[in-house]
Chains A and B, each alone.
Chain A
Amino acid sequence: MKKIIEVKNLSKSYKNLKAIDDLSFDVYEGEILGLLGPNGSGKSTTINSILNLLEFEKGTIKIFGKIMKPDAYDIKRDIGVIFQEVAVFEELTVYENIDYFCGLYVSDKLLRKSYVEDAINLVGLKEFTKFYPKQLSGGLLRRLNIACGIAHKPKLIFLDEPTVAVDPQSRNNILDGIKKLRDDGATIVYTTHYMEEVEMICDRIIILDKGKILAEGTTDELKSLAKLEEKITLEVKKISSKVVDEIKTFKTVDSVIQNGNNLVITYKKGKDNLGELTSFLHSKKVTYSKIFSERPTLNDVFLELTGKDLRD
């Protein structure tokens, strides 16, 4: 697979704070790479360093096989960036904003017109072309922000948390749009701290924390990394501590956490656990009002890797 971005040994500090610590990873052609990490983990710093907006102490960045530099205009021509903060002119309408930013890449007026219209359709802002940013809701504003970054049909797109503070409708519109861009051939780097989004659209995921890569792979690969494989939640009327202790001795059980009448049992291995548990409870005459089994989520993986919740 062709490497679109190659990051080698990237380190960046803000004064005393090490924001990125010896980071190396590649991004391959045609994929959506998810950069997943909690607030302050270094996602934005990574993107801004790759783009050469930030000065970094160490590391090399290659994009499209060439060294990235601030004046590497041939590389920049094929990149689109959607920054975490909305970056539009308050004084320009939706259409004018997209046309302005697109015009920095595309000189031909006719071609630009069709590009701008494509972008407007992609993010669904057709009825709002004459609106000023102030008149747009949060979700629509985010969509405008995206349209401004992708109107010139870049081959490589960076999206830094494009869905923060956006309602589910706009979020789905945005996620669909991003998938469509990938299907049209773009390579995408997508940062977020929402796991569902990553599970929905990313082909590959890098989990970042404190400027370091904790894990890397597809969703399934990451989940298989986890020690635990199954999680059973049980709501009982009454259960003796003797019974709980007995459950803990099961060969595949990793841990049992009791919280009043609720039990959360995690398993290292995941075969027939539910059946085994229900027949055991029957034999002990324990009645339960609810029982369900879950596969671990990325959040559980993250929790295991870092000992903290991804959304903190």
Chain B
Amino acid sequence: MFIHNFKYSLKVLFRNKSLIFWTFIFPILLGTFFHMAFKDIENNETFHAFDIAVVNSPYYENNTIFKKAINEASKESDNKLFNVKVVNKKDASKMLENKEITGYLEFSNSDVNIIINDNGIYETILKFFVDEVNSNKKIIENTVNEEISKGNLDYQMVISNVMEKLNETVEFKNISRSNLSYTMIEYYTLIAMAALYGGAISMYIINKNMPNMSSVGKRNSTAPIPKSTLLLSGLLASLVVQITGLILLFIYTIFILKIDYNSNIWLIALLAVVGSLAGLSLGCIIGTILKTNENAKSGILIAVTMFLSFLSGMMGITMKYVIDKNIPILNMINPAAMITDGFYALYYYGFESRYIFNILSLIVFSLIMLLISSISLRRQKYDSI
């Protein structure tokens, strides 16, 4: 009986065009839209010149290669990387504190120190610039000694190397794991949204088993089978369909849009499965506790999902920051934020406490929703059908 209902539920769900649109096609369309929209934004962001400082010292003055490289990179041109000020150490650290500069460089006898406060995109550019100059410097040192004294370095080459690497976001991220491309968060919220849209699928199953929601629900309620058997097999089928949708979305974003989730695929899969479970439970709760018709419920589910995704940063990462900072509780109970933050944590820190915390939060959220749903689903007779 369980398998009979499971098999037919799969058939019904996979053939339902509107469900398939919202849970399979719509996220892919939205992802494509993001891709087109953010490609330009991303590029603009990377080419924006930022402010840095260099601590005034004899080491700097004598480091011809760096001195020239810095001058070249701050020269007014299309390739300008940053604006530079040469100041004393006290001023430099004050400027950094006041966020007037992204960071400053301090030269010692043999080395150069990069002092920064944050881990944003500009900090990484700065680090990369220093790395690039250093490695070029070494090559020259190893080959033609005299060149160094003349300070003969192909500066344009250095800068164009930096730019090139910046444009290849994939490469760029590998250089510094601590840098997260702005747009990545959008794809995370997209996956969160797709996972929660999966709620429409479980809601469909719920509706088809409640006599007050659909005529098929009436028929199913007259069958000699416990409602729990019908619901569990149906919901299992709904989870399978949801996960299929997410797999498609991953395949599309990874292979077509070339998004790099930069993590262990199994940890991503775990997050997606737990996210789907959260979506399923969201569909169950909206399906059971709202006393309205099927279409209104679907509308509400979509609206709620959109809103939760918005809070977790879908229409701009600022929203997530604002909420994380001011009303953190909101994103702690928001499944979309848990999914988004899970990916975020995975990207930043890998399999560590923040990721695990999000996974556990999602499980707790799902269990609470399912528990409340099952209490109201237990009801056997209805006042009106």
Contact = CB atoms under 8 A, between A and B. Distances in A.
Interface of A: 14, 48, 51-55, 70-71, 73-74, 76-77, 79, 81, 83, 85-92, 96, 100-101, 103-105, 107, 148-149
Range class of the B interface residue count: 20 to 34
Contact of A53 (B12, B208, B381): B381
Interface string B323-356: 0000000000000000000000000000000000
The CB with the most chain B CB atoms within 10 A, among A76, A91, A101, A149, is that of A91
B110 interface: no
Interface stretch (B43-51, B119-127, B211-219): B211-219
B8 A96 contact: yes
A9 B216 CA distance: 29
A104 B1 contact: yes
Contact of B221 (A53, A88, A96): A53
Contacts of A77: 224
B174 interface: no
A100 B9 CA distance: 10
B384 interface: yes
A71 B230 CA distance: 14
Given A87-B216, A104-B4, 14 more contacts: A14-B384, A48-B385, A53-B385, A55-B382, A73-B226, A83-B215, A89-B208, A91-B11, A91-B15, A92-B8, A100-B8, A104-B5, A104-B220, A149-B219
Nearest 10 A/B pairs, CB to CB: A70-B380, A87-B215, A104-B223, A91-B15, A73-B224, A76-B224, A55-B381, A85-B215, A77-B224, A87-B219
Given A92-B11, A107-B4, A83 B380 contact: no
Give the interface centre of A77, A104, A105, A107 by most chain B CB atoms within 10 Å: A104
Given A73-B225, A92-B11, A52 B4 contact: no
Contacts of A149: 219
Contact of A91 (B5, B16, B220, B380): B16
A100 B15 CA distance: 15
B383 A55 contact: yes
A137 B176 CA distance: 65
Contacts of A89: 8, 12, 208, 216
A145 to B, nearest CB: 9
| Chain A interface, >50% SS class | loop
Contact of A74 (B12, B224, B226): B224
A54 B208 CA distance: 17
Interface in B1-58: 1, 4-5, 8, 11-13, 15-16
B8 A79 contact: no
B218 A52 contact: no
A42 B246 CA distance: 48
Interface in B258-291: none
B222 interface: yes
Contacts of B382: 53-55
A158 B204 CA distance: 27
B218 A92 contact: no
B222 A79 contact: yes
A81 B381 CA distance: 17
A165 B232 CA distance: 37
A87 B225 contact: no
Given A55-B383, A91-B16, A96 B219 contact: no
B236 to A, nearest CB: 16
Nearest to B208: A89
Contacts of B221: 53, 70
13 contacts: A14-B383, A55-B382, A55-B383, A73-B224, A76-B224, A79-B222, A81-B218, A87-B216, A91-B11, A91-B13, A100-B4, A104-B220, A107-B4
B178 to A, nearest CB: 48
Contacts of B222: 51, 53, 76, 79, 81
B219 A148 contact: yes
A206 to B, nearest CB: 22
Contacts of A81: 218-219, 222
Contact of B384 (A54, A86, A88, A92): A54
Contacts of B208: 89
